[in-house]
Amino acid sequence: MDHVKAPVERAKKPRISVLIPTFRRPQLLPKALASILAQQNCSLDAIEVIVVDNCPDASARPSFERARESAGGRLGLRYLHEPRPGISHARNRALTAARADHVLFLDDDLEAAPQLIATFLQALTQTSAAILVGPIEPVFEATSDGSGDIADADMRNYFSRRYAVPNLADISDDIARLGTANALFDRHACFPDFDPFEPSLGLLGGEDTLMFRTLQQRGLRFAWVQDAVVLEFVPRQRQTQAYVRLRRFRSGQIRVLTALRMSPPRPVDVVRWMAIGAVQALGYGLISAVFRAVGNPRWRHMLSRAYGGAGKCLWTERFLFPAYGATSRLGK
């Protein structure tokens, strides 16, 4: 069965369902779960946590069991096994199982700040926005010599999510940087249909971008909640410009792929993104070459931006690669 020693159904309906898809990160998942157990200024009865294990051999099950025992019944924890490969299947399965009216997506490499749930609950009383989004702050794994790219401001900014706007400001027109991590959704307003995450993008990536653009197209509002913070663990292998270049390249591809999969498709946007990408690839590439010639260390950052532009032009099947799963080139 999918449920592992599930606790007795609680009398109260939870106010927030925390949804955590996981794939072969048994060392990180317990930290994510512990951070929810440690929430302050809110009753744990207001929260349920649903872990969806997307690994075919259910590798997260032992870690989940240990976390459940540590919780001692204080927190509603449920385990689901979704063997179909791809993050879309895992997220859709989690949504189907959620009981609360609002769902909060966390990744298995995130830790919630102690006031996260209380902050979101307060924000729900102050705004009618259907989607609430909070900051992501990186926590870099120390390199073997204690140095590395973590001191690079460009690298730190890349792994962060911040908006320079007041609390509860409307960010509906600026969703390009959003992902599902640390985003709270009104489940009924946002997901009236089954399987909102496109399965065909489950291994490639961009399923959340397509979902966000669909919600934007429907006229739903997004709001920024500046104190709803989560910390993202960034392992050593991601603290390289080579990794950032690859991820920027994929982000560029996603701009075009989501335009093609919108309903209806937007061929004009495809042409627009390809034109923007060509300018970015050439412009940032030239700036990178000049910076490198004069010894400016930001040449690497500019080269990464050029890769992002190139991805908008090189998005056909021969240039695609898995972002999720066992064959991922992005370690997701």
The candidate with the shortest Cα–Cα distance to 185, out of 98, 101, 103, is 103
Provide the CB-side half-sphere exposure for 146 (13 A, CA): 0
Over its length of 332 residues, how does the chain's per-residue pLDDT go in tens digits?
455 444 444 457 899 999 999 999 988 999 999 999 999 999 999 999 999 999 999 999 999 999 888 888 788 899 999 999 999 999 999 999 999 999 999 999 999 999 999 999 999 999 999 999 999 999 998 865 554 444 578 888 999 999 999 999 999 999 988 999 999 999 999 999 888 999 999 999 999 999 999 999 999 999 999 999 999 999 998 999 999 999 999 999 999 999 999 999 999 999 999 999 999 999 999 999 999 999 999 999 999 999 999 999 999 999 998 888 767 777 77
Contact 71, 43 (CB under 8 A): no
Output the six-digit token pair for 314. 């090189």
16-239: in CATH 3.90.550.10:
yes
DSSP 324: S
Contact 197, 208 (CB under 8 A): yes
Residue 62: exposure state from Cβ atoms within 10 A (0-12, 13-18, ≥19):
exposed
**What is the reported pLDDT for 145?**
52
Q: Where are the domains of the chain?
A: 16-239, 243-319
| C-alpha–C-alpha distance, residues 143 and 268, integer Å | 45
- SS3 track for 27-42: CCHHHHHHHHHCCCCC
Contact 41, 128 (CB under 8 A): no
**What is the reported pLDDT for 60?**
93
**The one-letter amino acid at 46:** A
**What is the reported pLDDT for 51?**
97
Provide the CB-side half-sphere exposure for 327 (13 A, CA): 8
**What is the reported pLDDT for 148?**
46
The candidate with the shortest Cα–Cα distance to 6, out of 103, 55, 76, is 76
